[in-house]
Amino acid sequence: MISELCTVWRITWPKSCVGKYSELEEDVTPYCLGWHPYNHTTCSGIVYESRFLTTNAWKYTNAKDIWGISILGDYNLYSGGGYILEFTRNRQQANAMLNELNIFGSTEQREQYF
């Protein structure tokens, strides 16, 4: 998605934001950590998945595999799917997961923590 000047000033103030959402253009591509293009050789396997805590978060999860419905937001209807990380109940490990997301994350993503 391309960044543009936000038109919803009351929420975002005058700063750049990600362009409009379209379910037809939603990115469902699997990625390696840090939104790097997925490569089966380097981004999968026991060694890779045991080295990092967030490997599953970089793979798209369809809404039907989560709760099965689209979600109505304030400005659009969203697919309900996305890149999801399930946190552990262990505080130290959950902090390590957040740190890994912050290290490999991007400013062009929309995050929601539940």
The answer to whether residue 68 is domain-embedded is yes
Q: What is the domain extent for residue 40? A: 29-104
Please report whether residue 17 resides in a domain: no
Q: Between 18 and 73, whose confidence is greater?
A: 73
Is residue 40, in this structure, part of any structural domain at all?
yes
- Amino acid present at 69: I
3-state secondary structure 48-100: HHHHCCCHHHHCEECHHHCCCCCEECCCCEECCCEECCCCCCCHHHHHHHHHH
Residue 56 CB neighbour total at 10 angstroms: 13
How many folded domains does the chain comprise? 1
Q: Are 27 and 20 in contact (CB under 8 A)?
A: no
Q: Which residue's structure tokens are 């253009």?
A: 25
Q: Is residue 10 part of a domain?
A: no
In sequence order, the β-bridge partners of residue 4 are 17
In the chain the first and final C-alpha atoms are separated, in Å, by: 24
In a domain, 91, yes or no: yes
Per-residue model confidence as pLDDT tens digits over 58-85: 999 998 898 878 888 877 888 888 888 8
Q: What is the pLDDT of residues 33-48, one digit of tens each?
A: 988 899 989 888 899 8
